[in-house]
């Protein structure tokens, strides 16, 4: 991907804090404990949504793996996890974190690398697509996810599908240096029209088998490859 990689900057500045802003101001030990415990809990909750639909637990794919908050618990469930992230520093930290708990079944990739060559049983992405401003980048991810999913493979994807309002539109007019840290370009949330997303999924042979939290900041689409 071209352009400045803001997430590489965030990774070097405070990786855990930018992945989960609720731990941003805690000391390192406390931050790490809460950060990874929250990943375990979140993974358990999301896997419960798809447990009866998964064709198997061979290969999982994560888009936006960060430092491994969700990658690590998924790697304890699936035989192999393909972990994609835009930041080389995030990938380096994720690999180190996985090694500290003895995991060797995580395979990291940058977005431009061939992460979609393996047949995938389950693909997931949480709190990642909301930061991507260019919709063509999102479509490329969806196309590649659909391309590597097995028939009847499952994807669970998160988006912010709140309706646009005046304050949201005003933010785009404010220079980046005047915005608070969590509203700067690269980390600010980008809202998506759910109908546009539904058309995108259908275009790439992904059937919607469940929707949760539509028109909210935490909308989840449960998809199956056909």
Question: What predicted TM-score, i.e. pTM, was given to this entire model?
Answer: 0.85
How many whole angstroms from its chain centre is CA 48?
18
* pLDDT recorded at residue 137: 97
- The SS3 call for residue 148 is helix
* pLDDT recorded at residue 14: 58
DSSP state letters, 74-132: HHTTSSEEEEE-S-HHHHHHHHHHHHHTT---EEEE-TTS-TTSS-EEEEEE-SSGGG-
* pLDDT recorded at residue 2: 35
Euclidean distance between CA atoms 71 and 76, whole angstroms: 9
Position of tokens 């919709």? 135
Please state which architecture CATH assigns to domain 6-225.
3-Layer(aba) Sandwich (3.40)
43 neighbors 140 (Cβ within 8 angstroms): no
Task: Delimit the domains of the chain by residue range.
Answer: 6-225
- The SS3 call for residue 154 is strand
Closest by CA position to 103, among listed 92, 95, 111? 95
In this prediction, the residues of the chain whose per-residue pLDDT falls under 70 are 1-7, 9-28, 181-184, 186
Sheet of strand 149-159: strand arrangement? 106-109, 80-84, 59-63, 120-125, 149-159, 219-225, 206-212
């Amino acid at each position: 991907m071209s352009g400045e990689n803001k997430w590489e900057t965030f990774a070097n500045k405070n990786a855990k804090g930018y992945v989960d802003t609720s731990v941003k101001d805690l000391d390192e030990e406390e931050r790490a404990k809460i950060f990874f415990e929250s990943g375990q809990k979140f993974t358990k909750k999301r896997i419960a949504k798809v447990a009866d639909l998964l064709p198997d637990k061979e290969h999982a794919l994560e888009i936006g793996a960060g430092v491994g908050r969700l990658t690590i618990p998924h790697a304890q469930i699936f035989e192999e996890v393909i972990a994609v992230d835009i930041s080389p520093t995030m990938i380096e930290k994720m690999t180190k974190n996985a090694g500290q708990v003895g995991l060797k079944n995580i395979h990291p990739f940058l977005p431009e690398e061939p992460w979609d060559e393996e047949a995938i049983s389950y693909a997931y992405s949480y709190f990642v697509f909301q930061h991507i401003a260019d919709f063509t980048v999102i479509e490329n991810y969806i196309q590649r996810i659909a391309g590597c999913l097995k028939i009847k493979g499952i994807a669970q994807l998160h988006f912010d599908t709140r309706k646009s309002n005046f304050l949201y539109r005003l933010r785009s007019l404010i220079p980046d240096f005047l915005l608070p840290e969590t509203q700067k370009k690269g980390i600010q949330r980008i809202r998506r029209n759910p109908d546009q997303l539904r058309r995108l999924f259908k275009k790439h042979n992904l059937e919607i088998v469940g929707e949760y939290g539509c028109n909210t900041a935490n909308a989840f689409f449960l998809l199956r490859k056909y």
